[in-house]
Amino acid sequence: MRGRNLLAMGLLVLVVAAALFARWILHDGLSARARPSRVETFLARNARGFSIPGDAKNAANPIADSADVQKDARLHFSDHCAVCHGNDGSGDTRMGRGLYPKPPDLRDEHTQQLSDGELFWIIENGVRFTGMPAFGGTSEHGNAGDSWKLVRFIRHLPKLTVEERMEMEQYNPKGPDDRAEEKQEEEFLKGGAPQPKAASPHHH
């Protein structure tokens, strides 16, 4: 009888602890604007590590680094990855700030300490329950060689130069407002009268 009472008490404590933990985690509801707690960040990093197969961690990059490889990867990154990660890899973008969890700073030691194989696996397979998609096998991304080139570029991000970042800005995807503004600039340079820019309904 005493054993049953102790078991019931233990289960009650666990239920109460789980409820308090859930309330703490969901303090801001399910809003993606919230900042992940240290506990969530710790668990997410460890879950990411456990999810990557051991043989993938030990894979060596078959693409040798070079100026041409860096340029290919830099422009690829600006077109496919910068919308969330930013050209500099900081993750401080309009899209990135709206994700939960936020994109990691790719220049940070937590990313730079991953092996080449781990970075490649993440690019190819994505990370579940985050905004990181799986790019492997998608025609618009390219092939495995392109992913290995991106790994080389991620290694270079902490040393990215101003000139390289400015070059990348020319290859970032353009929205309707950006394209309209570029068209007006082209018309002006050709000698045509620029049309007044219509106010965007998304801006207040």
**16 vs 174, higher pLDDT:** 174
Q: Is residue 72 assigned to a domain?
A: yes
Helix 162-169 and helix 67-80: axis angle, to 10°? 50
Question: What's the confidence (pLDDT) of residue 192?
Answer: 58
Q: Is residue 136 assigned to a domain?
A: yes
CA 36 to chain centre: 15
Stretch among 113-117, 153-157, 176-180, 185-189 having the lowest mean pLDDT: 176-180
pTM more than 0.85: no
Question: What's the confidence (pLDDT) of residue 115?
Answer: 96
Q: Where are the alpha helices (DSSP H) in the chain?
A: 2-25, 38-51, 54-57, 67-80, 82-85, 94-97, 109-112, 116-125, 144-156, 162-169, 176-189
Q: Is residue 25 assigned to a domain?
A: yes
Q: Is residue 185 assigned to a domain?
A: no
How many whole angstroms separate alpha carbon 62 and alpha carbon 64? 6
Residue 15, pLDDT > 80, answer no
Q: Is residue 2 assigned to a domain?
A: no
Decide: 51 and 128 in contact? Cβ < 8 Å: yes
The pLDDT mean for the chain works out to: 82
Question: What's the confidence (pLDDT) of residue 72?
Answer: 97
Question: What's the confidence (pLDDT) of residue 135?
Answer: 93
Structural domain count, the chain: 1
Q: Is residue 159 assigned to a domain?
A: yes
Among 69, 74, 99, CA closest to 88: 74
> Could you tell me the pLDDT band of residue 200, with boundaries at 50, 70 and 90?
very low
Q: Is residue 198 assigned to a domain?
A: no
Q: Which domain holds residue 86?
A: 14-173
In the block, tokens 């990093």 appear at 45
How many whole angstroms separate alpha carbon 154 and alpha carbon 131? 18
> Could you tell me the pLDDT band of residue 204, with boundaries at 50, 70 and 90?
very low
Q: Residue 107 is part of a domain; what is its CATH number?
A: 1.10.760.10
The per-residue pLDDT for range 114-168, each reduced to its tens digit, is 999 999 999 999 988 888 999 998 777 889 999 999 999 999 999 999 999 999 9
Among 87, 161, 165, 99, CA closest to 129: 99
Q: Is residue 1 assigned to a domain?
A: no
Stretch among 66-70, 76-80, 200-204 having the lowest mean pLDDT: 200-204
